[in-house]
Amino acid sequence: MNLTRKFRASLLSTVGRFSSQDIVVLGDMVADEFIYGEISRVSREAPVLILKQRDCRIVPGGGANAANNLADLGARVTPVGLVGDDRTGLTLFEYFRNKGISTRGLLRVEGYITPTKSRILGGLSHWQRQQIVRIDREPPENNREELRKLVSRRVARLLAGKTGVLIADYGYGATDASEVLSLRRRIGDAKVPVVVDSRYNLHTYSQITAATPNEPEVEAAYGKTIGNNTALLFELGHTMLERQSLKALLITRGRDGMALFERGKKPQLIPIFGPDQAVDVTGAGDTVVAVFTLALAVGAGFSTAALLANCAGGLVVMKRGTATVTVRELKEAIRNA
């Protein structure tokens, strides 16, 4: 990425204003658990490895990771969603509280299972640890509508003074397209961006500011495979932009970078920032949507917001596990671009 001195200064100025933003993150608060073990021997019970557990850590994932990224980028953030009274839910709650992130929007529900992704990683001593298996724990589906209404009432009381809204829909039921449409109408002010990152229900969201799906999510929405077909990418991007009445659509494409669609403009292909061999893509989409939302909240255009999100995404995929990007890292990358 080659930047003129003037444009570099503009990007740095945009990042410098992140700390004045106050963002609501509405959606699924996920816990990412990493269990690290050292390979000991092969089990006698079955042809599987026995790991001696050396460490276990729980960090924010999903919407909670988006909130964590916003906080590390200097913004004030209020996550709104559900956590259970289980171990991972309590850990998330304490994580936010200890970091100074507001917990006013978190509904602690007795008996609720906090969505948890447990990754078990193993390796020999002093070797790089590899993920062996992932175990997901998910909340039941029987009372999701009732809980969704509770979450919507909670977020409605917390909107005053907010400069942006980030929706993190991972399919666990904390919110949905109809609730977000109602929220958009309640906000009223078109200057307050509402940006959606939806894993499974992308096609249901409409009349929002922007969405940040990855390419497989767009393919799933239309039942088509894009691959290297740029014409199909442009066709599906324009279709989604128009059908869902979006102002912008930012599609992340892994090593192929990003594609930005705006109303009345030609699609913009953005090359990947940094090496094309990622170390770990876990949670990268949360970083992208956090930076994109923040930049829009500051008042940046979609192109500038996309470039900053692309830069942040390139930085975070070079870190292991669920990670965040800081203002200092983002500014350094811009200066060196």
* Active site residue ranges: 286
What does the block give as tokens for 242? 């128009």
121: left (phi over 0), alpha (psi -120 to 50) or beta: beta
Q: Which amino acid is located at 242 in the chain?
A: E
Site of tokens 């026995």: 50
The SS3 call for residue 137 is: strand
The DSSP H or E segment spanning 301 is none
**Burial of residue 2, with CB atoms counted within 10 A of its CB: 0-12 exposed, 13-18 middle, 19 or more buried:** exposed
Rounded CA gap, 296 and 147, in Å? 30
| Helical spans, DSSP H, in 102-176 | 144-156
**Burial of residue 65, with CB atoms counted within 10 A of its CB: 0-12 exposed, 13-18 middle, 19 or more buried:** buried
Rounded CA gap, 162 and 75, in Å? 11
User: Which residues lie below 8 Å from residue 84, measured CB to CB, with a gap of 6+?
Assistant: 108, 109, 110, 111, 112, 113, 114, 139
Q: Which amino acid is located at 9 in the chain?
A: A
| Phi, psi (deg, nearest 5) at residue 95 | -60, -50
Rounded CA gap, 215 and 160, in Å? 34
Are 200 and 213 within 8 A, CB to CB? Answer: no
Rounded CA gap, 261 and 264, in Å? 9
